[in-house]
Amino acid sequence: MRAAVADLLAAVGPDGVLPIVQAGDPVLRTPAVPYTGQLGDLLPGLVEVMRRTMHAAPGVGLAAPQVGIGLALAVVEDAGAPGDPRERTPLPFRVLVNPSYEPVGDPVGEPRRVGFFEGCLSVSGWQAVVARWHEVRLTAQDETGSVVDERLVGWPARIVQHETDHLRGELYLDHAQTRSLTSNENLARYWATSVDPEPAARGLGFDLP
């Protein structure tokens, strides 16, 4: 694995980014190997090139398998959007090593799912509605080995679930309402926005949670 990462970093072009693996490549369907220090001093370089690749795409998360490396690593970052009904609060840049999540609810309620359109850099040009947990507890380590243990709500929780699923060999399409699948062009043409999925649910005939 170290040799593969060294070769990958050596092949980074002048723009400093990597090509993003697209659906159909087996690396996206193979559970990632837990990270136990295999990369040594190569880890900071991989993290940085993943960060640049995520920003250039542009995206809000990128898992190592999406650049062809089957290790349980991901980077996430989102500036947020005040007032967005998806609860798109800022998610500062961070590295997630061996992440996992579990749903949580408020003190008097059960965990609940919410449905919104979701896309993926490895399924370029398409979006579909996915019901995700509204609130999750994220556990992981960061790139220094420090423990990450926090609760996330809304869009940050969705980002973490999406990227962690990548490390399990899953794509968002595995969890999507298949009748909601739409090209980016038709999403803009017919439904105007990905923020409110209800018009698409009525027009395309699928249920929301």
Q: Is 166 labeled as ligand-binding?
A: yes
Is 185 a known active-site residue?
no
Handedness of CA 152, 33, 129, 51 (dihedral sign): positive
Strand order in the sheet with 91-103: 61-63, 73-78, 91-103, 135-141, 147-153
Provide the β-strand partners of residue 132.
Answer: 114
Q: Is 162 labeled as ligand-binding?
A: yes
User: In the Cβ-directed half-sphere of 164, how many Cα atoms lie within 13 Å?
Assistant: 20
Catalytic residue among 150, 163, 170, 185: 163
Give 116-158 as a DSSP string: EEEE-TTSTTEEEEEEEESEEEEEEE-TTS-EEEEEEESHHHH
Q: Is 120 labeled as ligand-binding?
A: yes
CA distance 64 to 74: 6
**Which backbone phi and psi does 8 adopt, to 5 degrees?**
-60, -45
Catalytic residues: 163
Which residues line the annotated binding site for Fe cation?
Answer: 120, 162, 166
